[in-house]
Structure 1
Amino acid sequence: MKELGRISTLSINRFTANGAYLQLSNGNEVLLPKSYLQGDEQEGDEKTVFIYTDSEDRPVAITQKPIALVDEFALMRAKTITSFGAFMDWGLPKDLFVPKSEMGKPIQAEEKYLVMVCVDYKTNRLIGVSKYQDFILSDTENFSEGQEVEILVFEKTELGFKVLIDGNYEGLIYENEIFEPLQVGDKKRAYIKKKREDGKLDVQLNPIGRQKYEEGAEKILETLKVQKFLPLHDKSSPEEIKKTLGMSKKHFKQSIGQLYKSKRILLHKDGIELID
Structure 2
Amino acid sequence: MNQSLGTIITGIVTDINDKAYFIQKSGITYEMPKTETTSYELGDAVEGFAYISQNKSYKLTQDIPKVQIGYYAFSKVIDVRRDLGVFVDIGLPDKEIVVSLDELPTEKQLWPKKGDQLMVTIRVDEKDRMWGELADEEVFISLSKKASEDLINKDIKGIAYRLKVVGTYILTEGDHLGFIHPSQRDIEPRLGEEISGRVIGIGQEGAVNISLKPRAHEAIPEDAAMLLAILERSKDGSFPYTDKSSPEDIKLHFGISKGQFKRAIGNLLKQRKIVQVDGETRLVKNESADNE
TM-score (structure 1 length as normaliser): 0.51
Q: Superposition pairs for residues 17-36 of structure 1, below 5 Å? A: 17-24=18-25, 26-36=26-36
Number of residues of Structure 1 aligned to a counterpart in Structure 2 = 185
**8 Å CA contact retained: 1:85, 1:99:** yes
Match status 1:41 vs 2:40: yes
Q: Deviations over 1:63-108 (max 9, x none)?
A: 2222411233322222122222221122222211122223245334
Structure 1 residues without counterparts, runs of 5 or longer: 177-182, 187-191, 196-200, 205-234, 240-247, 249-276
Aligned counterpart, 1:65:
64
**8 Å CA contact retained: 1:145, 1:194:** no
- Counterpart pick for 2:288 among 204, 221, 237: 237
Aligned counterpart, 2:15:
14
Aligned counterpart, 1:55:
54
**8 Å CA contact retained: 1:87, 1:96:** yes
Matches of 2:195 and 2:41, distance apart in 1: 41
**8 Å CA contact retained: 1:75, 1:185:** no
Q: 1:164 to 1:136 in 2, by over 3 A?
A: farther
- Counterpart pick for 2:207 among 202, 208, 211: 202
Structure 2 residues without counterparts, runs of 5 or longer: 149-156, 185-192, 197-201, 210-285
Match status 1:163 vs 2:171: yes
**Secondary structure of 2:70's aligned partner:** coil
Deviating beyond 6 angstroms after TM superposition, the runs of 4 or more aligned structure 1 residues are 143-147, 156-160, 164-167
Aligned counterpart, 2:73:
74
Report deviation, 1:111: 4.0
Report deviation, 1:60: 0.8
Aligned counterpart, 2:128:
124
Report deviation, 1:161: 5.7
Aligned counterpart, 1:184:
194
**8 Å CA contact retained: 1:194, 1:203:** no
Matches of 1:2 and 1:42, distance apart in 2: 26
Matches of 1:64 and 1:72, distance apart in 2: 16
Match status 1:154 vs 2:159: yes
Matches of 2:146 and 2:68, distance apart in 1: 30
Report deviation, 1:145: 6.9
- How high is the sequence identity, in percent, across the aligned residues? 16
Q: Provide the aligned C-alpha RMSD in A.
A: 4.4
Q: 1:237 to 1:2 in 2, by over 3 A?
A: same
Aligned counterpart, 1:172:
178
**8 Å CA contact retained: 2:122, 2:130:** yes
Q: 1:165 to 1:109 in 2, by over 3 A?
A: closer
Report deviation, 1:203: 4.9
Q: 1:65 to 1:153 in 2, by over 3 A?
A: farther
TM-score (structure 2 length as normaliser): 0.48
